[in-house]
Amino acid sequence: MIHSVRFIAVLDTNVVYPVIIRDILFWFAYYDLYTPKWSEHIFDEWKRVMVEKEVSEEEANKRISKANSAFPDALVQNYKGLIDHLELPDKDDRHVLAAAIKTNANLIVTNNIKDFPEEYLQSFSLSAKTADDFLTDIIDLNQEQAVAAFKEMVLNKKNPKQDEFEVLNLLRNAGLKDTANYLHALL
């Protein structure tokens, strides 16, 4: 079930970097629809991507600091010792799995599903879902709260100010087509 803060999801870098995906994931977490987790490695990657996309180092650090302040229990500790003992198609993703194991997560939210083989993850009582699948599951189980979180997210869009339909289009353009369509149907 994805309808309580007891449901723990580790957010991979590729769902934290696109601003609109991060926004909706964070707003859903703020509304206690799940508990987000991440690691130092994930945020180091996030910072690297931001800097590559010409976000200043100062702004990148500010965004990371804000995320950690908003969710003070999200940062997974003491996971690094597991990394070298894990086997994944892309060795650079082992830190994500290590963080998920260490925090007893239910799920890894990643848009690189192929890098997290289902059978191997099941050996750790884990699974992986794309951001779109994860978010639609949350909406399905918590329609009213999800819509409330989405509406508050829209109200907080100030640079530039955007309406619900503009934000839905941003979600669609970021690969969250099912999420956007589901929310649209509920509005």
What percent of the chain has pLDDT above 70? Answer: 97
Do the Cβ atoms of 10 and 94 come closer than 8 Å? Answer: no
Residue 168 lies in a domain: no
Range of the domain at 14: 8-131
**Can you give the pLDDT at residue 5?**
61
**Can you give the pLDDT at residue 6?**
79
Residue 153 lies in a domain: no
- Give the Å distances, CA to CA, from 170 to 18, 62, 162, 173: 10, 23, 10, 5
Query: What's 79's domain CATH number?
Result: 3.40.50.1010
Q: Is residue 3 predicted with pLDDT exceeding 80?
A: no
pTM value is: 0.94
Q: Which of 24, 4, 7 is nearest to 15 (CA)?
A: 24
Residue 20 lies in a domain: yes
Q: What pLDDT digit, counting tens, does each position of 111-161 carry?
A: 999 999 999 999 999 999 999 999 999 999 999 999 999 999 999 988 889
Q: Which of 92, 133, 88 is nearest to 111 (CA)?
A: 133
Residue 59 lies in a domain: yes
Q: What pLDDT digit, counting tens, does each position of 13-33 carry?
A: 999 999 999 999 999 999 999
Q: What pLDDT digit, counting tens, does each position of 34-54 carry?
A: 999 999 999 999 999 999 999
**Can you give the pLDDT at residue 70?**
95
Mean pLDDT, the chain, integer? 95
Residue 158 lies in a domain: no
pLDDT greater at residue 27 or residue 6? 27
Residue 139 lies in a domain: no
- The structural domain count of the chain equals 1
Q: What's the half-sphere exposure (Cβ side, CA atoms, 13 Å) at 132?
A: 16
Residue 169 lies in a domain: no
Residue 50 lies in a domain: yes
Mean pLDDT of 56-84: 96
- Give the Å distances, CA to CA, from 116 to 24, 42, 73, 104, 123: 23, 15, 25, 16, 12
